[in-house]
Amino acid sequence: MKTRDLSDMFRRYAANPRGLALALRGLRDRGIVARSPLFDRAWYLREHPDVAASGVDPALHYLVVGHPAGLDPGPGFCGAEYAALNGLPPGENPLAHYERRGRRRGCRISFLQPGGAAGADWRFPSPQEHQAAFPAVVDAVRAKAARGGRVRAVFFVASAAMFPARPLFDAMRRDPRFDARAAVVPDLRGIAGGDPAPAMERCRAALAEAYPADAFLPVARGPDGAWPDVLAGFGADLVCHPSPYELSDFKYNPRWCVGRPFLPVHVNYGYYRSLYDRHVMAGRNYALFWKAFFECDATLAEYREHSVLRGANGEVVGYVKMDALAAAEPFPRDAKRKRVLLCPHHSVEGGANDSLALSNFLRYADFFADLPARFPELDFLFRPHPFLFSVLSRPKFWGPAKCDAWRARFLSRPNAAWSGGGGYFSEFVSCDAIVQDCGSYLVEWFYTGKPCCYMLKDPSDIDAKFAPLGKDCLSHCHLAYDEAAIESFLRDVVEKGADPKAAARDEFQKTVMVNYPHAADAALASIKRALGMAGS
């Protein structure tokens, strides 16, 4: 092992309370991982060029940095899936566990692996093998449509606020050739954790305000506590899954769909713009989709470069989710006062080297609480990421009492308001500016044409965490590395209207707002063309 491997490891993780334990564990398991046939050194370096550039040993990087950040050791092993299948405790490295004990015990490494098939006798099906099954399904659905049968589509929904395919769902419900239903599914391993049933009830109640009862498929646990086959008896031809992440909607994730006689399609929840998104694109779940719809040429180019299919199932239609912004209604407000949206991300527990660690909330918590008092001529609407206060309420952070106290402190001023979640497009059209560090909002806010102050920890974050499109977006934002920069944005850009980035920002909108507000129509047209329904 090179000396620089050790020095880099200890230098970067000594500040982490768990850093020394992670480092020592990495030293112990490095040889086991490096010798594993499931650790693909060349693949790991190719997918994570920052590791290759640093000179750090890739096996050590995977153990100390990669696994905690959600990275996999190779294309044939998903750590999150193995950990969930075999009940690994948090922090246990899945590949090290498999090579120490799991291989000998015949532990399954994938949900796609038949029960009883030992790891040594089973290989992960290739993306090409998954894709090879779709033409026969396409032919069957085309034949059904040609006979005048309605194409049955099911949209899995885990949260009403995170339903990116909703405009496509609405478009299909308007089209007489389709029978589109929603299935509110359990997020069994989401960040919020706990029993998924209450979240499902809230989601169903929110959607029930807009759709009749027959728009939903029933989803409920059986007497034994198990979740049923949600599609049993419906005969789905298309299924739209809400997330490509390994652990989202665990029961009904994309791998649950493999081998079934329907066509899985995917509409992105977030507008891809970061290096973390490359990790998501490189995941095997994307290879399980018949069609994966992308927002613009830049995001499809990233998918082509980093996906295991090299983008073969990707297509640009626009950002479907944002179609709904065009119809959003502003809520009542004093037209003489300007309103600022405050949107901190949830990733307060991410490490310095975690590409998803965007949140600056703990750094600015007191500052945010006092903003309404500092700027009494402005109105402030605080909309945290839905998971932020779920994370902060844990004992390792603030706990429930401190969370409640902070909220009361913020709301003590008459020019402060709080958003409890749900759809946010009305908030977008009702506010004049945003201060944020959320990933998706970085691009989404450009659809409003209004100024953005984006918070970063350090200028190095731009190269360390953002892909080229994200960097382009940041170049059209007002960047803040401290409180003074945020105050300057509020004073000069919001209050005085002096926005030197306005003209270039308006031009940049053309790059990201492809087919707006008709991205859903473009996606539906793509599906209909493939199914021989283009003229219907």
User: Residue 509: which H helix or E strand, with range?
Assistant: helix 502-512
Q: Which segments of the chain have a pLDDT < 70?
A: 1-27, 115-121, 188-194, 246-251, 351-355, 535-536
Number of domains the chain contains: 3
Q: Considering all CA atoms of the chain, what is the largest pairwise distance in Å, rounded to the nearest integer?
A: 71
Q: Answer whether residue 536 is part of any domain.
A: no
Q: Answer whether residue 377 is part of any domain.
A: yes
Residue 129 CB burial class (10 angstroms; 0-12, 13-18, ≥19)? exposed
Q: How far apart are CA 447 and CA 449, in angstroms?
A: 6
Residues 74 and 39 occupy one common structural domain: yes
Closest CA to 107 of 81, 73, 129, 127: 81
- pLDDT of 197: 85
Q: Answer whether residue 459 is part of any domain.
A: yes
Residues 134 and 278 occupy one common structural domain: yes
**Contact by Cβ (8 Å): 380, 372:** yes
Q: Answer whether residue 325 is part of any domain.
A: no
User: What's the DSSP call for residue 337?
Assistant: S
Residues 454 and 391 occupy one common structural domain: yes
- pLDDT of 265: 96
- pLDDT of 21: 60
Residues 314 and 365 occupy one common structural domain: no
- Domain ends where: 90, 108, 124? 124
- pLDDT of 246: 58
- pLDDT of 276: 82
- pLDDT of 448: 97
**Contact by Cβ (8 Å): 467, 275:** yes
Q: Answer whether residue 315 is part of any domain.
A: yes
**pTM metric for this prediction:** 0.83
Question: Long-range contact list for 97-101, CB < 8 A, 24+ apart?
Answer: 98/36, 98/38, 99/32, 99/33, 99/35, 99/36, 99/38, 100/32
Residues 88 and 142 occupy one common structural domain: no
The residue type at 485: A
For 315, the domain range is 128-319+516-530
Q: What is the β-pairing status of strands 452-455 and 433-436?
A: parallel
Residues 59 and 181 occupy one common structural domain: no
Residues 281 and 363 occupy one common structural domain: no
Residues 252 and 399 occupy one common structural domain: no
Residues 363 and 265 occupy one common structural domain: no
- pLDDT of 534: 76
- pLDDT of 523: 98
